[in-house]
Amino acid sequence: MHLKGTWVTIFFSGAFLLLSLVLSLALGDLFSLVAWHDKAILGDRFTLTTLIAVVLSALTCVYAGILNKKSKTFVEESVSELNKVAWPTWAETRGNTVTVVVTCIVAALILGVFDSVFSWITNSTLLLG
């Protein structure tokens, strides 16, 4: 059960970071679109838009992770379901990857041969006709 809580915390922390980044970029574009000056607060990289994005992201994640029981329950149930998944071993993953790469190469070679043959037929027909 403790592990589930850890994964839920990691999920909401990652969501906070990703949402902060996206909002910061979006607000920066919005500020430049309306010609507002994006004032630097803590150095050149931490600006007003970054502060607004961090605050909005924190409020959103606190609401979704603590106050809204439905979203927290959903993430907890997702973690529980992921624990039930039969994950492949490293050897199985490597074998499957080799199979996919070889299949893609063979398919590309077959399609390349067909393309060359049809191109040659089309060019020959155009020269004869």
Q: Between vectors from CA 18 to CA 25 and to CA 36, what angle results, nearest 5°?
A: 20
Three-class secondary structure of residue 40 per DSSP: strand
Tell me the one-letter amino acid at 26: A
Pairwise CA distance, residues 129 & 124, whole Å? 9
Three-class secondary structure of residue 47 per DSSP: strand
- pLDDT per residue, tens digit, the chain (129 aa), is 457 778 888 888 899 999 999 999 899 889 888 888 878 888 777 888 889 999 999 999 888 888 888 888 888 888 888 888 898 999 999 999 999 999 999 999 999 999 999 988 888 766 665
Verdict on whether the full-model pTM lies above 0.85: no
Contact 62, 9 (CB under 8 A): no
In terms of residues, how long is the chain? Answer: 129
As given in the structure block, the two tokens for residue 91 are 């050897």
Pairwise CA distance, residues 34 & 89, whole Å? 53
